[in-house]
Structures are given as C-alpha cells and as structure tokens.
Amino acid sequence: MSTLKPFLYDTGALVAAERNHVAFWQAHRSYLTAGGVPMVPAPVMSETWQNGARQVQLARLLSGCDVPALDRGLARSVGELLGRADVSDPVDGAVAVLAAQLGARVFTSDPDDIQHLLDNMGEAGKRVRIWPLH
C-alpha cells in the first residue's frame, strides 16, 4: 500500500482555487480521490480569507482541507527560519516549516521565495517538492 505525499497549499494556491485554475483543481480533486487531505497553514488562510460570502470557490476548497494552527513551537521555528534566511514573511515561513516537517509537496505561486526558505533549512528542506502555479 502506497502512502500519499502530503499536499500543502500556500496563498497562491488558494488564489488559484478562487480563480478556477483548471490544473490546480484537477490536482486537488485527484489528491482527494486518492484519499489525501491537503493542508493550508492557518496564516495562509488568514492572508487569503476576506469575505466568505463572495469567496465561494475558496470556501469549497477549504472544506476539504486541514488547517494546522500556528502554535508556539511552529511560531518559534518560523521565526528562527526567517532570521536565518534574512526574510520577513511569516506566511511563507509557516509554509516552508510545515512542508519540511511533513516532507510535503508545496503548491505555490512563489516558488523562488519558498525555495530560498527551504535552502536555509538544511536536509529537512530537501525533502520538499515545489509545484509552481502559473
């Protein structure tokens, strides 16, 4: 029995869902059909969610996703990573840290930013695969 590699969505992935990006929705549906539950870090959801009454596609996407919280340990790890990488975006930091912890595939519109963070994580960052959204 094969194990699914975790999927982790960043803000660009949620925007792609909202805009009905066909390739993104196909990958999402395939993952759900295979039994996966994608993850959206809480800071990503905070950055994207603005008006649920108008964000029907986003609400649809999030209904099938797990939203891990930004707890004390994760917040510390994110802060330490941002310091090492000399950047200040805690949302991308949360994506990178969670992805490295899980060995996830990251769906992102900012592959260079996420890769820069992963490069500052040593071996853990090398387990992550990035799926750029265009």
- pLDDT confidence bin for 52, thresholds 50/70/90: confident
What is the pLDDT at residue 2? Answer: 52
pLDDT for the residue numbered 124: 92
CA distances from 99 to 30, 43, 59, 94 (A): 20, 14, 22, 8
Residue 3, pLDDT score: 78
Ordered domains of the chain (ranges, CATH): 7-132 (3.40.50.1010)
Interatomic CA distance for residues 123 and 55, integer angstroms: 38
83-118 pLDDT tens trace: 999 999 999 999 999 999 999 999 999 999 999 999
68-94 average pLDDT score: 96
